Amino acid sequence: MFLMALYLGLMSENTEIKPFRVEIPQAELDDLADRLARVRWANELPTDQVTDGVQRGPVTPGWEYGVPLEYVRRLVSYWRDGYDWRKWEAKLNEYPQFTTEIDGQNIHFLHVRSPEPDATPLILTHGWPNSVFEYLDLIDQLTDPRSHGGEAADAFHVVIPSLPGFGFSGPTREKGWNRYRTAQAWAELMRRLGYERYGTHGNDAGSFVAPEVGRIDAEHVLGVHVTQLFSFPSGDPAEFEGMTEKELEYMQFLQSFNDDMSGYAKLQESAPQNLAHALADSPTGQLAWSAQLLSATSDDHVLTNATLYWLTNTAASAARFYYEDKHSEHPAEPTTAPTGLASFAYDFRPLRRFAERDHANIVSWQEFDRGSHWATQDAPDLLVGDLRAFFRKLS
């Protein structure tokens, strides 16, 4: 029924693909600067510093309570007096961008064709609280490998959409924009672009979406490449039998992340609108909310994404993606598209025994000794190399 409804909806909507450029009015940047100049800082609990039994006075805490005031103060100062949005706007505008309406939703995307005519079409899906800026520095390497240490056979025609409700795709205005509806939209987008056979890649939220593109559009998807496979224990004690020491370490990391770092996900999947009002009114709040997960990247990357969410007022709709996904019906059957994993050292490490339960055709499993959740920022060479190797085998 959903496929029929989607088909009928597509038949009635405007399928035109329109060129797009980022041109933020100066008045909006002036308003941002004004708000940053009038920030009211959150209070923070000091801790007592004791050395050799001697009281040394209060010091500020680290990250155990969340994003520290000192970190936010430093970035707000740079945001106000040093950061240049126009620089990143211009960098984004170096690449062809477009918008189109799919299933009633505006979709913004970059579409960069390779100079190699036989390049493999590849759609890349970003995560939260990231955006299309996640992949910006990889575009030239992916589309023109011969200029970046690769071969013509490694070339990709690259499509990088903004998730529905994120950034320049603008807010969602209907319920139901979860990973499955997004995957349907991506399949339609690649059809409109004329790609009969293509690959899909995702990180973070994109690692939820990419396998579903392979499930929904199996006839046209060459392969699915992700940086996480979010497969968890089902609760059956038999799943834990014979676990190796390495697997137990992965389980401990998963438990630690779930206990200490998943508050953002729990709030966004249960009551996303609660925080949305604060984020829509405070750029400093938007910065701090984004920084919990992005703080390991560069200051410019953190601020560029915070600025994008602020300027497009998409904090609420991006958060709703979590809610819609949590409250959707998930397929019981495993995916069957050829699947490859690039797992990085300082990220969630999936256990293959669980991943193979959910994905029946894993053909590549690479674990790297460096890189983090945002491998495009701190291990781009490994990510690009694995993308090339994975799709080269499938082509």
How far is residue 71's CA from residue 357's CA, in Å, rounded to a whole number? 41
Q: In sequence order, what are the residues at sequence separation of 6 or more whose Cβ sits closer than 8 angstroms to the Cβ of residue 174?
A: 104, 105
Residue 4 vs residues 22, 26, 140, 189: alpha-carbon distances, Å: 35, 44, 38, 17
C-alpha–C-alpha distance, residues 170 and 167, integer Å: 6
User: What phi and psi values does residue 142 have, to the nearest 5 degrees?
Assistant: -75, -40
Q: Is 81 a catalytic residue?
A: no
Catalytic residue among 325, 373, 378, 386: 373
- Indicate which residue of 83, 198, 322, 323 is catalytic: 322
Residue 267 — φ and ψ, nearest 5°? -70, -45
The answer to whether residue 140 is catalytic is no
Q: Is 204 a catalytic residue?
A: yes
Nearest to 29 by CA among 93, 87, 75: 87
Alpha-carbon span 390 to 361, nearest angstrom? 13
Contact 335, 224 (CB under 8 A): yes
Measured between alpha carbons, how far is 179 from 210 in angstroms, rounded to an integer?
9
Contact between 25 and 122 (Cβ < 8 Å)? no
Catalytic residue among 204, 217, 325, 378: 204
Q: How many angstroms separate the Cα of 360 from the Cα of each of 20, 154, 253, 293, 367?
A: 39, 26, 25, 30, 19
> Do the beta carbons of residue 337 and residue 223 sit within 8 Å?
yes
C-alpha to C-alpha distance for 145 and 143, rounded to whole angstroms:
6
Under 8 Å between Cβ of 324 and 299: no
What residues are labeled active site? Answer: 204, 322, 373
